[in-house]
């Protein structure tokens, strides 16, 4: 975890190439649309970072948790905790929803049991991450200087999965297209949504695991 903390303490996209910012913003927009109606009750945003999804959580009862104090300092949320996901500082059965976005790729998947521990019975663990089974292999989502292993639905076969979907079907060569942002948001997003209905091979995967009583 020390390596991960040090990496994200220095995380800053302000000087990244424009196309990287566009692709990340596009991916985040798809994630928002997927999760905005699925988070409810008392929520733990586990691995919240600087708060990329604060806009859809700000009116809900949320605790924002991350291992990087530097990222939390940039976060707009009020209830913030700096802690290790392997050892959550909460009692059993606290939360109705645990949100874990772009986090599990960097961790041992034993952390899932810890995330489920703090969920109430029948509570929902919402996982979003890079899909190991994807036909898309966009470099900016797959090449990291720290531990990074994309997840697969197969990794969660011992859990009660109540929802699954894949999205982000943007071919890597699209990054050279002029006016990339307009192309993605005005045109390609409709194609992406169509492909999501029929394929689990997109760059991203979302899974909802229900905690059994």
Determine contact, residues 166/199, Cβ cutoff 8 Å.
Answer: yes
DSSP, residue by residue, 56-96 = GTTTSEEEEEES-HHHHHH---SSEEE--GGG-SS-SS-EE
Distance of alpha carbon 31 from alpha carbon 49, whole angstroms: 15
Q: Render pLDDT for 30-45 as a digit per residue (tens, 0 to 9).
A: 999 999 999 999 999 9
Tell me the per-residue pLDDT of 174-209, one tens digit each, with 9 for 90 and over.
988 989 999 999 999 999 999 999 999 999 999 999
Q: Where are the domains of the chain?
A: 2-210
User: Which class is domain 2-210?
Assistant: alpha beta
Mean pLDDT of the chain: 95
- pTM score of the predicted model: 0.95
Spell 32-53 as b/e; 16+ CB within 10 A means b.
eebbeeebeeebbbbbbbbbeb
Q: Is the pLDDT of residue 1 over 80?
A: no
Task: Find the helix or strand (DSSP H, E) in which 183 lies.
Answer: helix 180-183
């Amino acid at each position: 975890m020390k390596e991960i903390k040090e990496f994200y303490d220095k995380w800053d996209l302000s000087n990244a190439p424009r196309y990287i910012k566009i692709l990340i913003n596009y991916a985040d927009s798809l994630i928002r649309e997927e999760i905005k109606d699925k988070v409810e009750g008392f929520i733990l945003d586990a691995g919240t970072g600087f708060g990329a999804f604060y806009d859809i959580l700000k009116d809900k009862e949320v605790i924002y948790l991350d291992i990087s104090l530097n990222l939390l300092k940039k976060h707009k949320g009020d209830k913030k905790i700096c802690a290790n996901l392997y050892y959550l500082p909460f009692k059993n059965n606290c939360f109705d929803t645990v949100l874990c976005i772009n986090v599990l790729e960097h961790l041992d998947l034993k952390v899932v049991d810890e995330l489920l521990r703090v969920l109430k019975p029948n509570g929902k663990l919402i996982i979003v991450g890079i899909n190991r089974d994807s036909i898309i292999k966009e470099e900016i989502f797959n090449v990291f200087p720290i531990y990074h292993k994309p997840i697969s639905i197969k990794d969660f076969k011992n859990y009660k999965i109540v929802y699954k979907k894949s999205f982000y079907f943007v071919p890597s060569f699209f990054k050279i297209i002029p006016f990339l942002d307009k192309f993605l948001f005005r045109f390609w997003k409709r194609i992406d949504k169509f492909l999501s209905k029929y394929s689990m091979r997109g760059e991203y995967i979302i899974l909802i695991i229900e905690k059994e009583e």
